């Protein structure tokens, strides 16, 4: 895939989202489903890596870019991630004072609901790839409950989930169905 194509696809994803996490459906559709440039496993790994540290939710685009085109792709992912911020400055200046209008508020709420629906629809295939056993499903449910409580930072939820998986593996609990190894 060309560097320009990668940039435009990632830029499209960031321009059509309200936060870094809502770029996921577009990235998955363009790079996993349509172009087969990366796999669901690579996309899941990119999201997990980016969520483990501080920074914007859309930082997974850097990892995705790296999976597609190496270090150049990582740079392209970073540029695609920050480009909308520069455009937002111009847009905010143009919309100054008009965002409190009821129509604007309704439009923002509707777009946010649509983005949440897209994230849920695209999260299912990724979850199907990652959750391959009952112990992993239990960890996922616990992590979701902890995340939804909003009392625990995401990094701690991820660390605890990883620690549970490691402890389970050390205790001999099969984390992946044996048919995957066949």
- In tens, the pLDDT along 159-175 reads 898 898 888 888 877 76
What is the C-alpha separation between 15 and 60, in angstroms, rounded? 15
Q: How confident is the model at residue 75 (pLDDT cuts 50, 70, 90)?
A: very high
**Whole-prediction pTM:** 0.56
Q: How confident is the model at residue 109 (pLDDT cuts 50, 70, 90)?
A: confident
Number of helical (H) and strand (E) elements in the chain, helices listed first: 7, 0
pLDDT of residue 20: 58
pLDDT of residue 68: 97
Q: Indicate the burial class of 156 (C-beta count within 10 angstroms; 0-12, 13-18, 19 or more).
A: exposed
Mean of pLDDT over the chain:
83
Backbone angles phi, psi at 131, to 5 degrees: -100, 100
């Amino acid at each position: 895939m060309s560097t320009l194509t990668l940039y435009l696809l990632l830029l499209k994803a960031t321009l059509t989202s309200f936060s870094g996490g809502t770029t996921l459906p577009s990235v998955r559709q363009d790079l996993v489903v349509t172009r087969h440039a990366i796999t669901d496993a690579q996309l899941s790994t990119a999201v997990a890596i980016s969520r483990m540290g501080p920074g914007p939710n859309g930082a997974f685009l850097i990892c995705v870019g790296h999976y597609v085109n190496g270090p150049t792709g990582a740079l392209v992912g970073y540029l695609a991630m920050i480009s909308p911020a520069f455009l937002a400055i111009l847009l905010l200046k143009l919309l100054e004072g008009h965002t409190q209008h009821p129509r604007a508020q309704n439009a923002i709420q509707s777009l946010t609901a649509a983005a949440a629906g897209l994230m849920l629809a695209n999260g299912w295939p990724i979850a199907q790839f990652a959750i391959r056993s009952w112990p992993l499903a239990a960890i996922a449910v616990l992590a979701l409950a902890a995340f939804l409580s909003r009392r625990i930072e995401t990094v701690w939820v991820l660390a605890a989930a990883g620690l549970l998986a490691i402890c389970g593996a050390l205790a001999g609990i099969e984390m992946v169905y044996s048919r995957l190894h066949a």
